[in-house]
Amino acid sequence: MAAAGKPWARWLYSLALALLTPLVWRRVWREQRPARPRRERLGLIEAPPGPGLWLHCASLGEVIAARPLIEALLDDYPGHHLTVTTMTATGAERVEALRRDAGLAARLHHRFLPLDYPGATRRFLARLVPQMAIIFETELWPNLLAACRRQGVPLAVVNGRLSPQAFARYRRIRPLMQDALCGVDWLAAKSAEDLARFRALGMAAERSQAVGSLKFDISVAPELRSAAQALRTQFGNRPVWIAGSTHPGEDEQLLEAHALLRRAHPDALLILVPRHPQRFAAVAALCAAQGMSVPRRSQGQLPSQDDAVYLGDTLGELTLLYGAADLAFVGGSLVPVGGHNLLEPAAMGIPVLSGEQLANFTDVAEVLDDAGALVRVADAKALATTLAALFKDDAERLRLGEAGQRVVAANRGALASTRQGLARLLDSQ
């Protein structure tokens, strides 16, 4: 296990967290699932019986990205159960859907991550008793990592990601982050740039390496492709594009682009998929305020030829909806969010478009750019112009889609390296 860091920084952090308790509880109060007690947030969980591993994914997007790793862990350790924790209710729902869809209910479990109070984290680990802890991407909770260190739980951070913006924030509290990173036994960063940022915050070089992004190890089941093609057929012979994982301030721009597009293609259909389910009703109301009737997927509706927008207000179906479109715009990139997973539509062979704000996916965007598999636009007008041009150019759409699939295929391999690193970590204990 790693040596201790700077506990005084963690003590100050814990004091600040205690003073902010009302705000913390207000934030997490809504993130709940029916029949799931809120005492889980205090570490009061019921642990599955037998030896187990623990994987933490912050929210819905991370659970989706971690699916190949989840399935690999269950394959590699058939005598273990796997507990996946999330902070959000949507992440919890996705884990529960995975248990049902993949038939993993017997060995895959979900619990909510405890709030980062010292007592809550100690109780959580004392009850769960994992043989290995795995953090997906960047959830570096100082007291949780310190509790792992104290209780001798080997800890890995996989697909480690640290954007320039996040790095700038963490650098202001470097003593606290240095203490937290002392609890990490192995860090597998998704790029050399991310690795350098982690090391600048205090991650030991001998316990960290760049292995590539797990997001490239995405796989698409034949049944999913068939379902996407069937849905595309139901939309009829019309231009269809999708805007996935959209945010406030972005939906308005996308609807503006769609209105401009329909001047050239009056029958064009936009599948609009907000990032957060809390916004489904608000986005439907936004469309209604612009005089649109908006069929909603959650209600089993399909768009008629007269409908301009179809609201994808369901969870866990984004890849399916990407595959049912002719062009895909990935959201969080026309507003300062940092973008979302560009590889989901690419893996489906759908041409990928985005805005310019891709700080969270710089490495992925650069690989797609180099392969000529990503089209970036600056604003709504540029998006409309690009969409109109691509809908008239079948050959270019085909080229973009095939280029994206080649990028995904050529960059797979991070999952194998991650599995090997986790096996070494567990065997060394």
Please check whether residues 270 and 390 belong to one and the same domain.
yes
Please check whether residues 208 and 312 belong to one and the same domain.
no
From CA 331, how far away is CA 347, in angstroms rounded?
A: 17
pLDDT for residue 372: 98
pLDDT for residue 282: 96
Please check whether residues 355 and 307 belong to one and the same domain.
yes
Domain count, the chain: 2
Q: Which residues pair with 269 in a beta bridge?
A: 240
**pLDDT tens string for the chain (429 positions)?**
454 567 889 999 999 999 998 988 887 777 878 778 889 999 999 988 889 999 999 988 899 889 999 999 999 999 999 999 999 988 999 899 888 876 777 899 999 999 999 999 999 999 999 999 999 998 899 999 999 999 999 999 999 999 888 999 999 999 999 999 999 999 999 999 999 999 999 999 999 999 999 989 988 989 999 999 999 999 999 999 999 999 999 999 999 999 999 999 999 999 999 998 889 999 999 999 999 889 999 999 999 999 999 999 998 899 999 999 999 999 999 999 999 999 999 999 999 999 999 988 888 999 999 999 999 999 999 999 999 999 999 999 999 999 999 999 999 999 999 999 999 999 987
Please check whether residues 122 and 263 belong to one and the same domain.
no
pLDDT for residue 27: 78
- Between helix 164-171 and helix 174-181 the angle, nearest 10°, is 100
Check if the beta carbon of residue 33 is closer than 8 Å to that of residue 92: yes
Residue 1 placed within a domain: no
Please check whether residues 266 and 190 belong to one and the same domain.
no
Residue 201 placed within a domain: yes
DSSP string of 375-421, one letter each residue: EE-SSHHHHHHHHHHHHT-HHHHHHHHHHHHHHHHHT--HHHHHHHH
Backbone region of residue 137 per phi and psi (left: phi > 0; alpha: psi in -120 to 50; beta: other values): left
Please check whether residues 181 and 228 belong to one and the same domain.
no
Please check whether residues 283 and 397 belong to one and the same domain.
yes
Check if the beta carbon of residue 65 is closer than 8 Å to that of residue 146: no
Catalytic residue among 31, 40, 46, 62: 62
Check if the beta carbon of residue 131 is closer than 8 Å to that of residue 80: yes
Residue 419 placed within a domain: yes
Measured in degrees and rounded to the nearest 5, phi and psi for residue 422 equal: -65, -40
Please check whether residues 135 and 69 belong to one and the same domain.
yes
Residue 45 placed within a domain: yes
Please report, in angstroms and rounded to a whole number, the separation of the first and last CA atoms in the chain: 9
Check if the beta carbon of residue 283 is closer than 8 Å to that of residue 296: no
CA 114 to chain centre: 20
Please check whether residues 201 and 302 belong to one and the same domain.
no
Please check whether residues 131 and 19 belong to one and the same domain.
yes
CATH of the domain at 365: 3.40.50.2000
Residue 51 placed within a domain: yes
Check if the beta carbon of residue 332 is closer than 8 Å to that of residue 274: no
- Domain coverage including residue 291: 222-410
pTM of the predicted protein model: 0.82
> What DSSP character marks residue 257?
H
Please check whether residues 169 and 242 belong to one and the same domain.
no
From CA 357, how far away is CA 31, in angstroms rounded?
A: 28
Please check whether residues 163 and 248 belong to one and the same domain.
no
- Between helix 280-289 and helix 251-264 the angle, nearest 10°, is 40
Max intra-chain CA distance, the chain: 65
Residue 2 placed within a domain: no
Q: In the annotation, is 206 catalytic?
A: no
pLDDT for residue 361: 87
Residue 298 placed within a domain: yes
Count Cβ atoms below 10 Å from residue 127 Cβ, excluding itself: 13
From CA 385, how far away is CA 267, in angstroms rounded?
A: 16
pLDDT for residue 5: 60
Residue 80 placed within a domain: yes
CATH of the domain at 127: 3.40.50.11720
From CA 358, how far away is CA 367, in angstroms rounded?
A: 13
